[in-house]
Amino acid sequence: MPGSDSTAHKSKSRRPKYSQFSQQELPAFKLILTPGYVISTFIVVGLIFVPIGLISLFASETVVEIVDRYDNECIPKDFRDNRVEFIKNKQTNKSCTRTFTVPKQMKSPIFIYYQLENFYQNHRRYVKSRSDKQLQSKKNAAHIRECKPMGETDNKDPIIPCGLIAWSLFNDTYGFSVKGKDLKVNKRDIAWGSDKNYKFGADVFPKNFQVGDVGGKSLNSSIPLSEQEDLIVWMRTAALSTFRKLYGKIEDDLQANDVITVVIENNYNTYDFKGTKSLVLSTTSWIGGKNDFLGVTFITIGGICLFLAITFILLYVIKPRPLGDPSYLSWNRNSTPTPGR
Amino acid sequence: MAGNRRKKHHFSRIHAFSCGKTSFKGDHSLIGGPGFSRVVHCNDPESFEASVLNYSGNYVRTTKYTLATFFPKALFEQFRRVANVYFLICAILSFTPLSPYSAVSNVLPLVVVIGATMGKEVLEDWRRKKQDIEVNNRKVKVHCGEGAFDYTKWRDLKVGDVVKVEKDEFFPADLILLSSSYEEAICYVETTNLDGETNLKLKQALDATSNMHEDSNFQNFKAIIRCEDPNANLYTFVGSLELEEQQYPLTPQQLLLRDSKLRNTDCIYGAVIFTGRDTKVFQNSTGPPSKRSKVERRMDKIIYFLFGILVLMSFIGSIFFGIATREDLQDGKMKRWYLRPDDTTAYYDPKRAAVAAVLHFLTALMLYGYLIPISLYVSIEIVKILQSIFINQDLHMYYEETDKPARARTSNLNEELGQVDTILSDKTGTLTCNSMEFIKCSIAGTSYGRGVTEVERAMARRKGSPLEEEVTEEQEDKASIKGFNFEDERIMNGSWDNEPHADVIQKFLRLLATCHTALPEVDEENGKISYEAESPDEAAFVIAARELGFEFYERTQTSISVHELDPVTGTKVERSYSLLNVLEFSSSRKRMSVIVRSEEGTLLLLSKGADSVMFERLAENGREFEEQTKEHINEYADAGLRTLILAYRELDEKEYIQFNEEFTEAKNSVSADREELAEEIAEKIEKNLILLGATAVEDKLQNGVPECIDKLAQAGIKLWVLTGDKMETAINIGFACSLLRQGMRQVIISSETPESKTLEKSEDKSAAAAALKASVLHQLIRGKELLDSSNESLGPLALIIDGKSLTYALEDDVKDLFLELAIGCASVICCRSSPKQKALVTRLVKTKTSSTTLAIGDGANDVGMLQEADIGVGISGVEGMQAVMSSDIAIAQFRFLERLLLVHGHWCYRRISSMVCFTLKMLIDKLG
């Protein structure tokens, strides 16, 4: 009876189709972590990582970096107790001269950065207070919804560029000279190409900027935004409260023991929020600026791997254990079997 | 069956104890009162009175949703998940300026997650819908006026319709039986779908309506039925029928329930009283409980923990934010001037720093939202669906014979399969195939039959000497006759004549052919005869008699006709026995007898029964073969067979006349103890019997059951058997599937002892119950002592408890003791347990041991158990679909459980766990 039944329904049989996949019979490979594999993996990783770390450290060492914090020094002695008043007073002379010696030869290009501390460019209100549309194109001039309270002037004229970021543009300036000879500072090509070409429009000119409440630097309203590279750099907000931003490039080599004189216009108010300002001169190498972290990390990891490899070798030699010995299983280890799981 | 028009009084003899007179008892006075207000205008559903009542139609819906309710209901279900509520709140907030990022990135994942799960719901509901459509569009003949019956869809049935249901059809609604094709207006009903019992039940219409056998009789039929309101109780019914201004009482005896099947009866006429949702079946059905796996519950806890971290982070962050914001503007002096704290919105207002902090808290909740792994839910859903596909596709769980692959009906319990600790199994249809095979017999002290039982095979295997498999293969080929696996050339093909006690063998076979209540069914095409019996054992006996040359072929109202092999001529002779009385089987009597008059005129009492009651009823001169037979019975029992003793007695005329008078009187008495009275009288005549021999029937185990149980036991999984069967049968099966072994000590807790019987008969019911409970408690304590004092040498314990004791053992104050004992035992068998007890035991194990339970069963009586257990596995066998419909996973054979648990369960658990761990690790990475 079942035979005739099954032939009658053969076409509709619900028998599952055979395939290696559906029957979970695909050939599979699962690495068993035998001592040999583990030890050799650790040794290989260690042998690769330690040299990389050493090379990185060395590269970082070749970078020459000069950091000079000037926010305190550039306040005249009379104003030391009342820095905020000094910086806010438009009448005071903000110029300040700093000198420092070049420790080693610095090959061009030498990058000039300003470094701010305790400045929260990453504050949510600050980050959002800009209008990318307005920056991009002339026709979006009225696009100032996100910019409050720096969106428009008292008589409802839109500010270009609007928002807190642009408004608080950094406005200290630096002039460099070596042995009485001025060093030329190149301020072109310090911003990202994409920012210049796409995000900041060539037909957008500053308007109503820094009228009324003055926050930071004013902009020349005859130059389009796409060429206001200081602004473009500043508008790419930093992720941390301590950050460096590119100010310009010196395209001359500096020799060791050269004395550099910097004339600083100390305009920017970091005194209200107890921030610091520093000037940074740095060369670069193939790993970028001066940064030991990468090298140290590589060396640490590589070292740990080598250490583990040696430990395992010792363990394997001193106290070997057969692979897959069932007597080590949890339910075999105790003489009294554990119930259930 | 067309020729089977039987006279009334004779038929009732076959069912000596089941047909009684009905009278208006106490309950009927309630009709018309509260709870008993239903009024049915039979055959007049269009009338004004009927339309006023406005009972619902017969349309049934088992789907969770309708088109209109789908969205609200499904969404509500979705948002019962805490994580989803969180994401919903985030999504709403993301449209405010609070949001740290754009609304789309917040809403999209939520839409995807909810969309995916809702899509799954739609798919599952659609399957149910298709099934509903099939059921609702089934057709049944309905009286459409002028005495004509025409086909109508089930869903168009109305209360009051008169329907004609034909043989082997399901009843479309709850009906009141009006008449049947039998003269006596009886019909047989199979209620497998309702209670899992395979035997046929007898229903009988009222005398007043029983004479309407033709369609045309219903032309002018009008009646009013008043009855109880729809309720869930399957076994009670109170109502009255008003016909021609006469009131007749209605009892469950007239009630035909939806989803049961008409058997052995050509057709019946019935009046629809409950339709659709009002039917007792639907009143009984409970929505399937939603089950969740332990991994999922653990994951919920992890998510609560992560949520805690999220809140903590946001809280600390917002405190610092509040402080910093407040300090930005002090005495009109700005600190962080570039933020313009003097000209700001509420979110950053230094003057109201507290408000800003609270708002920032909400923002932070969203900002750190990646801590809540919304993707994990989606990944888990996808992985589980894939795993279900693997389960469905597994060739090792495909059953060729019924063309049924395994089916994971709910995908969210896959990994739970690898965690099962206790299996609660039904017996009939799950461990066994629910077919009995006549395999051995002992006649006149000689044992016949060379068949090898599953148990013997298992035992041989355990001893390390497997019987040659070829032999069994060969046997399976030959055993094409269902229910017959007997092989012995000494008595087959009529050669019994040459055996030493040929006369005894003849009587033995004759008894097999006559002492039963089975009905023969002759296939008109090839003349082959098959039998419809109340129990599969009985069918096995009749088949055995047929195969050995005594073919029972006709039962009339007064006689049983048998083709007998005549030893003298070697030809088949027709013999008929006039059937005088049937003394029915009951669990207390443990035997059944018939009184027949042979053609020669001798009065014979033919009796078969359990050895415990039969040996004491033998006459002095009838004990000739007692010793050998007892020995054989023990052998058979060890081989896991069910045995019955066959004996007979010749009656003299005077004794019979006296008996018949008393017996008829007892049967017709209206007193409550009618049955007991009849039993007593029957007892008087069933004595001084002469032993003929014994039969051994194998309750056939499904393929591979002992091996599977053995493997599961090796894996540390406990198996409890919960069965509705008798204790003896259950123990037999326990041995057969190596659940019980020789050398195991059995703790038997039973309330079927003679003392408890007398207790029950006593007047004071509550005192009797208390005494019974005390006895159960005592037995439990004794068992516990045995367990505590057990030393290894005595072997493991097995607990066997019957249903009545179970009632007491499950009471609140005793159940802990019971559970302790049960857990300590290697095997537990609960026999005679009701569906509800099965569910209760399951719940007890689940809640008290907090281990994962798996219930497996095939009948509707297992539904409660399947729903209660952590995982319900349905056997998609021959019996109904109820169990499968309420199960989480359906398989075709018990032995597939091994692969399901030990392979799929194991893999699913490992894989899901690894995936959850990996996803959470990625979260931690993000944190860092």
pLDDT digits (tens, 9 = 90+) for B887-928: 889 999 999 999 999 999 999 999 999 999 998 888 888 776
Task: Select the residue from B323, B325, B334, B338 to test the A interface by mutation, using most A Cβ atoms within 10 A.
Answer: B338
Q: What is the pLDDT of residue B671?
A: 62
Q: From start to end of B558-658, where are the E strands?
A: 559-565, 572-583, 591-597, 603-609, 641-651
Q: What is the pLDDT of residue B219?
A: 83
Task: Kindly calculate the radius of gyration of chain B based on its CA atoms and give it in whole angstroms.
Answer: 34
Q: What is the pLDDT of residue B29?
A: 66
Q: Please give the interface size between A and B, counted as residue pairs whose CB atoms are below 8 Å apart.
A: 73
Tell whether the model's pLDDT for residue B793 goes beyond 70: no
Out of B100, B337, B419, name the one closest to residue A269 (CB). B337
Q: What is the pLDDT of residue A225?
A: 92
Angstrom distance (rounded) from CA B523 to CA B14: 24
Q: What is the pLDDT of residue B476?
A: 46
pLDDT in tens, B310-335: 999 999 999 999 999 998 888 878 88
By the 8 A CB rule, do B513 and B550 touch? yes
Out of B100, B334, B392, name the one closest to residue A16 (CB). B392
Q: What is the pLDDT of residue B477?
A: 44
Question: Between residues A336 and B442, which one has the greater pLDDT?
Answer: B442
pLDDT in tens, B224-279: 888 888 887 777 788 888 888 888 888 888 888 888 888 878 889 998 988 888 88
Out of B336, B389, B390, name the one closest to residue A273 (CB). B336
Q: What percent of chain A has pLDDT over 70?
A: 94
Q: What is the pLDDT of residue B20?
A: 41
Does the beta-carbon distance from A17 to B851 stay under 8 Å? no
Alpha carbon dihedral B570, B576, B582, B586, in 10-degree steps, equals 30
Angstrom distance (rounded) from CA B630 to CA B645: 10
Å between B334 CA and nearest CA of chain A? 7
Does the beta-carbon distance from B340 to A150 stay under 8 Å? yes
> In the predicted model, what is the mean pLDDT of residues B64-91?
82
Angstrom distance (rounded) from CA B389 to CA B383: 10
Question: Between residues B316 and B221, which one has the greater pLDDT?
Answer: B316
Does the beta-carbon distance from A15 to B339 stay under 8 Å? no
Angstrom distance (rounded) from CA A248 to CA A109: 10
Least Cα distance to B182 among B265, B253, B99 occurs for B265
Selecting among B426, B699, B725, B862, the annotated active-site residue is: B426
Find chain A residues with C-beta within 8 A of B405's C-beta: 14-16
> In the predicted model, what is the mean pLDDT of residues A278-295?
91
Find chain B residues with C-beta within 8 A of A18's C-beta: 395
Does the beta-carbon distance from B390 to A24 stay under 8 Å? yes
Find chain B residues with C-beta within 8 A of A148's C-beta: 345
Does the beta-carbon distance from A149 to B344 stay under 8 Å? yes
The DSSP letter of residue A78 is G
Question: Between residues B167 and A275, which one has the greater pLDDT?
Answer: A275
Q: What is the pLDDT of residue B543?
A: 87
Tell whether the model's pLDDT for residue B31 goes beyond 90: no
Question: Residue A320: helix, strand or coil by DSSP?
Answer: coil
Task: Kindly calculate the radius of gyration of chain A based on its CA atoms and give it in whole angstroms.
Answer: 33
Least Cα distance to A116 among A6, A275, A259 occurs for A275
Angstrom distance (rounded) from CA B378 to CA B385: 11
Tell whether the model's pLDDT for residue B22 goes beyond 50: no
> In the predicted model, what is the mean pLDDT of residues B574-579?
87
Task: Count helices and strands (H / E) in chain B.
Answer: 29, 35
Does the beta-carbon distance from B389 to A123 stay under 8 Å? no
> In the predicted model, what is the mean pLDDT of residues B40-65?
77
Q: Which of A62-66, B20-24, B413-417, B744-748 has the highest mean pLDDT?
A: A62-66
> In the predicted model, what is the mean pLDDT of residues A314-327?
87
Out of A14, A17, A120, name the one closest to residue B336 (CB). A120
Q: What percent of chain B has pLDDT over 70?
A: 88
For helices B754-761 and B765-788, what crossing angle results, to 10°? 160
pLDDT category at A38 given cuts 50, 70, 90 is very high
Question: Residue B857: helix, strand or coil by DSSP?
Answer: strand
Angstrom distance (rounded) from CA B211 to CA B390: 59
Q: What is the pLDDT of residue B196?
A: 57
Å between B876 CA and nearest CA of chain A? 14
Kindly write down the DSSP assignment for every residue of B105-162, as one continuous string. HHHHHHHHHHHHHHHHHHHHHHHHHHHHHHHHT-EEEEE-STT-EEEEEGGG--TT-E
Does the beta-carbon distance from A272 to B335 stay under 8 Å? yes
Q: What is the pLDDT of residue A339?
A: 43
Does the beta-carbon distance from B716 to A17 stay under 8 Å? no
Find chain A residues with C-beta within 8 A of B907's C-beta: 24
Tell whether the model's pLDDT for residue B797 goes beyond 80: yes
> In the predicted model, what is the mean pLDDT of residues A246-268?
92
pLDDT category at B424 given cuts 50, 70, 90 is very high
Find chain B residues with C-beta within 8 A of A169's C-beta: none
Q: Which of B244-253, B262-271, B337-346, B349-358 has the highest mean pLDDT?
A: B349-358
Tell me the pLDDT of chain A averaged across its residues: 88
Angstrom distance (rounded) from CA A201 to CA B646: 109
Place of tokens 């339709």: B275
Measured in degrees and rounded to the nearest 5, phi and psi for residue A22 equal: -65, -25
Out of B338, B363, B851, name the one closest to residue A126 (CB). B338
Tell whether the model's pLDDT for residue B13 goes beyond 70: no
H/E stretch holding B627: helix B626-638
Q: What is the pLDDT of residue B284?
A: 67
pLDDT in tens, B822-841: 888 888 998 877 777 888 89
Least Cα distance to B784 among B824, B748, B750, B814 occurs for B824
Q: What is the pLDDT of residue A199?
A: 93
Q: Which of A108-112, B456-460, B858-862 has the highest mean pLDDT?
A: A108-112
Find chain B residues with C-beta within 8 A of A17's C-beta: 393
> In the predicted model, what is the mean pLDDT of residues B23-50?
70
Asked casually if ipTM beats, i.e. exceeds, 0.85, the reply is no
Find chain A residues with C-beta within 8 A of B482's C-beta: none
Kindly write down the DSSP assignment for every residue of B642-665, as one continuous string. EEEEEEEEEEPHHHHHHHHHHHHH
Å between B918 CA and nearest CA of chain A? 18
What is the edge-to-edge ordering of all strands in the sheet holding A181-182? A95-101, A259-265, A173-178, A181-182
pLDDT category at B756 given cuts 50, 70, 90 is low
Tokens of A152: 């428009």
Find chain B residues with C-beta within 8 A of A126's C-beta: 338-339
Å between B2 CA and nearest CA of chain A? 27
Alpha carbon dihedral B521, B527, B530, B532, in 10-degree steps, equals 0
Out of B339, B340, B394, name the one closest to residue A23 (CB). B394
Q: What is the pLDDT of residue B849?
A: 86
Task: Select the residue from A9, A14, A26, A271 to test the B interface by mutation, using most B Cβ atoms within 10 A.
Answer: A14
Å between A49 CA and nearest CA of chain B? 22
Does the beta-carbon distance from A15 to B395 stay under 8 Å? yes
> In the predicted model, what is the mean pLDDT of residues A92-108?
91
pLDDT in tens, A121-179: 999 889 989 999 999 999 988 888 888 888 888 888 899 899 999 999 999 999 999 98
Does the beta-carbon distance from B395 to A123 stay under 8 Å? no
Taking any CB pair shorter than 8 Å as contact, residues of chain B touching chain A are 100, 333-340, 343-345, 347-348, 363, 389-390, 392-395, 398, 400-401, 403-405, 419, 421, 716, 851, 907
Q: What is the pLDDT of residue B197?
A: 60
Angstrom distance (rounded) from CA B175 to CA B160: 9
Question: Residue A262: helix, strand or coil by DSSP?
Answer: strand
Q: Which of A253-262, A331-340, B632-641 has the highest mean pLDDT?
A: A253-262
Query: Does B426 participate in catalysis according to the annotation?
Result: yes
- Cα angle vertex B618, ends B614, B623, to 5°? 115
Place of tokens 């888990």: B380
Chain A residue nearest residue B344, CA to CA: A149
Does the beta-carbon distance from A23 to B395 stay under 8 Å? yes
pLDDT category at A44 given cuts 50, 70, 90 is very high
Out of B337, B345, B389, name the one closest to residue A272 (CB). B337
Taking any CB pair shorter than 8 Å as contact, residues of chain A touching chain B are 2, 6, 9, 13-18, 22-24, 119-120, 123-126, 148-150, 164, 167-168, 215, 269, 272-273, 339-341
pLDDT in tens, B699-746: 778 888 888 988 898 888 889 998 877 777 788 788 778 788 777 888
Longest dimension (CA), chain A: 113
pLDDT category at B791 given cuts 50, 70, 90 is low
Question: Residue A112: helix, strand or coil by DSSP?
Answer: strand
Tell whether the model's pLDDT for residue A47 goes beyond 80: yes
Sign of CA pseudo-dihedral B603, B608, B613, B618: positive
Residue B754: CA count within 13 A, CB half-sphere: 2
Question: Between residues A49 and B645, which one has the greater pLDDT?
Answer: A49
Alpha carbon dihedral A7, A9, A14, A15, in 10-degree steps, equals 10
Q: CB burial class (10 A; 0-12, 13-18, 19+) of residue B151?
A: exposed
Measured in degrees and rounded to the nearest 5, phi and psi for residue A36 equal: -55, -50
Tell me the pLDDT of chain B averaged across its residues: 81
